[in-house]
Amino acid sequence: MKMNEILAGVDFLRRTGRDADISGVEYDSRRIGPGSLFVAMQGGTTDGNRYAAAAIHSGAAAVVTDSEATYREIENSNAELVLVAHGRRALAQVSANFFEHPEETLALSGVTGTNGKTTTAFLLDAMLNHAARKTVLIGTIEYHVAGAVRSSPHTTPESRDLLALFREGVDAGATEAVMEVSSHALAQARVYGLAYDVAIFTNLTRDHLDFHGTMEDYFAAKKKLFDGSELRAPRVAVINGDAAYGAQLAEAARKVGAEVFLYGISEGDYRADRIRMNAAGMEFAMVTPQGRVDIATRLTGRVNIYNLLAASAAAMARGLSLEAVRDGIASLACVPGRFQSVDAGQDFTVVVDYAHTDDALRNLIALAREFVTATGGKVITLFGCGGDRDRTKRPLMGQAAAEGSDFVVVTSDNPRSEDPEAILRDILPGIKDGKAEFVTELDRKAAIRLALERAKPGDIVLLAGKGHEKTQTLREGTISFDDAEVAVDALRNLKGARA
């Protein structure tokens, strides 16, 4: 493809060159090959402009840069050069041109919020697939491209990688895309230029303040999906009316012409009636503008009622019938790492869950409490906090665990470059204020065994924080670690020791 075609619609400040032939678009200099276009842009942790010369040395035919200094430094190279004001927006635009705008073929549904994005996206994807629609699914756990499963390095990838996945999906016959849209992606223009047909808001609670700084800035990033300020306004906005910021977001969406549907447990356009639940699943009547339908699902808990209502409203906005929604919900067995049961024949319940904010942890423990109240069992909670992330939520998570649990094991999550002991010290002030008995064990494997050893018949053990993750990130590097697998091994050894 010619450089002129790749720059179509891109606002640039300066350009030198010869309309080069371009073989690929990259923002990572390590992926450069002969004829590549390298987009050198300022990022959150590094500045790609530092690698512009290396990209040219590796065969880049052209460089798009958002740095005047970089432009001057490589101006005498053989590569074609383009100076832009905003690197990430330029990356989105040139990638869309290079991949021949697959996003225009797909009906896009985007899910944003602090908690519930993954489950809502999985549910919507399951409904669409069950209705024989081919989809692309982009999210925290994994990516799906017309049925093929890929690993997920980021909840929302950089625009170039996202558009490459869209291209693969369209080539394989996909007509729909369901995406988790993170606040980071919205703030960093990773989804710049995309037009969402349906936008979904789950909730907004304290998280990612290490990146956004304040809740107001966090909300402002989420709002971009709905208010038409940087993205085209969605045709339909599906918004949790029970959530903080829900009413404010609904007003913003209406102002730019979106059709707004609210959902909530007892109020809203989509709501739930006659709820019955247990640890194995739940049933309820879903009330919608199109009528009522009885829902039976293997998911459980109040939080999952919200997720089901959100996904159902979005699916019906995409043209599915009540019956298709009902059947699509029934087709989904579970969402990995989201209230995932671990069964090795033990006489108590073990659940792995991704809860990694104080709000999510509080909701998880409240759900567990509902299930053990009838049996007189206890709630045992294991959790930690990630390193190099918002430190202010650490005592709040300790408080949430101590308020609702009978016994708490505080351990390590993904400490990354931080000292696990320092993370623990941040958690303890919150947990010490509660009434729950607690212990600390920084070795997560040993901590899981300790929590399981404490359990008695009728109890529930919550292994919180990592959910679907298959690794643990330490200062020394990344190791294989799966909470569910570690729990199964510990349960089998424990069963043998008790025999």
Same domain, 194 and 108: yes
CA distance 491 to 317: 45
pLDDT over 90, % of the chain: 82
Q: Hey, how many other C-beta atoms are within 10 angstroms of the C-beta on 52?
A: 26
**Mean per-residue pLDDT of the chain:** 93
- Shared-domain flag, residues 290 and 351: no
Domain boundary among 331, 360, 387: 331
Q: What is the mean pLDDT of residues 38-59?
A: 92
Same domain as 382, residue 248? no
| pLDDT band at residue 163 under the 50/70/90 scheme | very high
Domain of residue 281, residue span: 102-331
| Domain end marker among 304, 331, 358 | 331
The predicted structure's pLDDT at residue 42: 87
Residue 27 shares a structural domain with residue 67? yes
pLDDT (tens digit, 9 = 90+) per residue, 78-94? 999 999 999 999 999 99
Query: Same domain for 168 and 259?
Result: yes
> pLDDT at residue 22 above 90?
yes
Q: Of 412, 305, 400, give the one whose Cα is nearest residue 359.
A: 400
Torsion sign across C-alpha atoms 264, 266, 268, 273? positive
Q: Output the domain CATH number for residue 81.
A: 3.40.1390.10
Residues 107 and 48 reside in one and the same domain: no
Q: 380: domain CATH number?
A: 3.90.190.20
- What's at 120, amino acid-wise? T
Residue 257 CB-half CA count within 13 A: 7
> How far, in Å, are 110, 121, 259, 495 from residue 321 at the CA level?
20, 18, 18, 48
Q: What angle do CA 339, 246, 404 make, to 5 degrees?
A: 40
3 state SS of 42: strand
Interatomic CA distance for residues 313 and 238, integer angstroms:
7
Summarised one tens digit per residue, pLDDT across range 198-223 is 999 999 985 656 655 688 888 999 99
pTM over 0.75: yes
Alpha carbon distance 114, 81 (integer Å): 40
> Are residue 143 and residue 224 in the same domain, yes or no?
yes
Distance CA 263, CA 51 (A): 47
- Shared domain for 136 and 180, answered yes or no, is yes
CA dist 88 and 81 (Å) reads: 16
Same domain? For 178 and 261 the reply is yes
Query: Domain of 186: which CATH number?
Result: 3.40.1190.10
Specify whether 32 is located in the same domain as 165.
no
- pLDDT digits over 231-258, tens only? 999 999 999 999 989 999 999 999 999 9
Domain termination residue (choose one: 45, 71, 98): 98
Q: Are residues 322 and 445 in the same domain?
A: no
> Cα–Cα distance between 135 and 307 in angstroms, integer?
19
CA dist., res. 296 & res. 356, Å (int): 28
The tokens of 196 are what?
Answer: 């969402």
For residues 46-69, average pLDDT:
96
Is 439 found in the same domain as 322?
no
Considering its fold, how many domains does the chain have in total? Answer: 3
Place of tokens 């991949």: 99
118 within 8 A of 335, measured Cβ to Cβ: yes
Q: Find the radius of gyration of the CA atoms of the chain.
A: 24
The DSSP string of 383-435 is E---TTS-TTHHHHHHHHHHHH-SEEEE--S--TTS-HHHHHHHHHHHHTTSS
